[in-house]
Structure 1
Amino acid sequence: MSLTLALEWPSLSCISRRNVSSSLSNNRQPNDEEEQDRMDLAHHVYRLLLGGALHLAPIKNDVQRVLDLGTGTGIWAIDFADEHPSAQVIGTDLSPIQPRWVPPTCSFEIDDFECDWLYTRPFDFIHARELEGCIGNDLKFFKQAFKHLVPGGYFEVQAVTSPFLSDDDTLDKAPNAQEWMDNLVKGLRKFGKPADNVPGWKDKLKDAGFVDVHQEIRKLPIGPWPKDPKLKEIGKYQGVQELQVIDSYTPAIFSRILGWSHEEIQILIAKVKRELRDPSIHLYLPVYFIYGRKPV
């Protein structure tokens, strides 16, 4: 996670109620319990999107060294260690909020992935989820991942990007949600951590040296409106999470970066929540799963 904006989220990472405030004052503080619960809910949503899997990259079952960047509560790293007993899994984050009781092959370190990486041994697999809005120089970030992989190793990023979309024109019924997202992205870009550049990451991985770069884009519905049972379940959880996201990320970005008043922020939040709870509005966000391989 970035030094200046320390947090994660399933739509626009690295900014929360507590963390943006502390980040903007250059003070690292751990995420509060509510935000940690939201991170774990996001993990559940991603596993549902992947049919229970933790990644798409075709890594070997006996993978040895794995790095999870911006690990948050550490839940991805813990699950991966449980499923791959042969792997030594390291999760890094700026906030020491990970549990103490973890698999013996899983460990956590406080680190800033935007600084130079100092690992002396390369990794077989590097995973990064929800880092949109956290990276100031994405090409540098991807090049560091490339450098610290073994030949034949894989790097995978999973990220949500803006804007809200709909396939039935109901987006027109959610002008406040659109305004909220537009300003959130504007604030992040003004702060130097763009969250709307994910569509360009596939080419950036190639520029960094990766080959066999693969990208999949999946729909993340907001609310239980889909007819498909699997998407309905995903939307049910994401609907809850999106409301938490609004409370977590809006105040600091809109007030400290964009200069909104407290009253203006609260009015917009109320309008956005009302739209997102409306079952006749069928919004979703695109989720990008991108991975590449370091040549042998």
Structure 2
Amino acid sequence: MGDDIESYTTSLKSSVLQYRYENGRRYHAFVDDDGKYMFPNDEEENDRLDLWHHIQTLSLSGKHHLAPIGDQPQRILDIGTGTGIWACDMGRCSKECQYPSADILGNDISPIQPTVVPVNVRFEVDDVEKNWVYSQKFDYIHSRYMTCSIRDWPKLMKQSYQFTKPGGWVEFQDYDLHWYTTNKDYNVTDNPFFRWSQLMAESVRKYGIEPDPGPKLKQWVEDAGFVNVSAHVFPIPMGTWPKDKRLKEIGAFNILSMLDNLEGITMRALKTGMRWSADEVKVFCAQIRNALRDKSARFQSNFYVVYGQKPQDAVS
């Protein structure tokens, strides 16, 4: 995993690898808190996360970021790196990602990242909601897809500001759980998928976790002290109903990721937050799968990208 001598996370404790197993799925073991992270960390879930990497990249027309970070960033931090696919793509000297000068560090509560990585990419096991301890600041701090994962977003923004170099950039790419229909004649309240989005949001809120960070990112970034803040919103369809070719492709991958691992992303949240049984969750997921195949529903959500710069004359 590679040590980072500039971080207090200098070793991978054996307890981190003592995963929890529930209903045939594997979950993290970084902290003794069932509500810390609701989703699995096994291979099936990792495939879903990598598929979301593709969806997000498609949404950004092949780009991995929108912030104008320049050609030679020296230090990059990827918050909640997940499978590490974004960090590895940024580290590769490809046509799209030419940052060979950058030292790229990704952190996550689960050690699920690959061991064979570009020479300028490293990973550490860490909880981004704890106090950060780094001896050097970063040129660029990146975060994405932390929906249903973070309790204190303002604290995360403040720590990002603290550990960004003057003139450096932060970028937050995220969603909300609000799915809506673009078909004005469709009764969304009768759809199990719409009910699922409401139940998931209600469940994670019981643990103090924010399910809808996307629309709030811009204000949080500005409140933290960043300037030159820019916000962008991209539609994320569910299914192949859009006429636009790129949106149709995004929708196809989106519904694939949902159908393939629906129980995995639903089970713990509804069992712990709503006190459902495993059988009740499975029956509900079957209803959702059927509902998702209804093209007339035309469900869509939003993908938010917000970036900002730390003032050049900032003291800290």
Q: Please tell me whether Structure 1 or Structure 2 has the larger radius of gyration of its CA atoms.
A: 2
SS of the counterpart of 2:236? strand
Which runs of structure 1 show a deviation greater than 4 angstroms over 4 or more consecutive aligned residues?
20-23
Aligned to 1:10: none
Aligned to 1:11: none
1:52: Cα distance to partner? 0.5
1:272: Cα distance to partner? 1.0
- Paired positions, count: 282
Aligned to 1:60: 70
8 A contact 2:175–2:303 mirrored in 1 = yes
Quick one: which amino acid aligns to residue 295 of structure 1?
P
8 A contact 1:70–1:91 mirrored in 2 = yes
SS of the counterpart of 2:168? strand
Alignment of 1:33 with 2:48, yes or no, is no
1:245: Cα distance to partner? 4.5
Bigger CA drift: 255-264 or 67-76?
255-264
Aligned to 2:5: none
Superposition RMSD in Å: 2.3
CA distance 1:17–1:139, shift in 2 (3 Å): farther
Alignment of 1:49 with 2:59, yes or no, is yes
Alignment of 1:187 with 2:203, yes or no, is yes
1:199: Cα distance to partner? 1.4
Unaligned runs of 5+ in 1: 1-5, 7-15
SS of the counterpart of 2:235? strand
CA distance 1:184–1:195, shift in 2 (3 Å): same
SS of the counterpart of 1:280? helix
Aligned residue among 120, 130, 150 for 1:135: 150
Aligned to 1:79: 89
Aligned to 2:250: 234
1:222: Cα distance to partner? 0.8
8 A contact 2:148–2:211 mirrored in 1 = yes
1:267: Cα distance to partner? 2.2
Aligned residue among 292, 295, 298 for 1:282: 298
Aligned to 1:19: 27
TM-score, normalised by the number of residues in structure 1:
0.89
Alignment of 1:91 with 2:106, yes or no, is yes
TM-score, normalised by the number of residues in structure 2:
0.84
CA distance in 1, matches of 2:103, 2:42: 28
More helix per residue: 1 or 2? 1
Alignment of 1:100 with 2:115, yes or no, is yes
8 A contact 1:222–1:239 mirrored in 2 = yes
Aligned to 1:144: 159
Query: Kindly, what percent of the aligned residue pairs are identical?
Result: 38
Quick one: which amino acid aligns to residue 200 of structure 1?
K
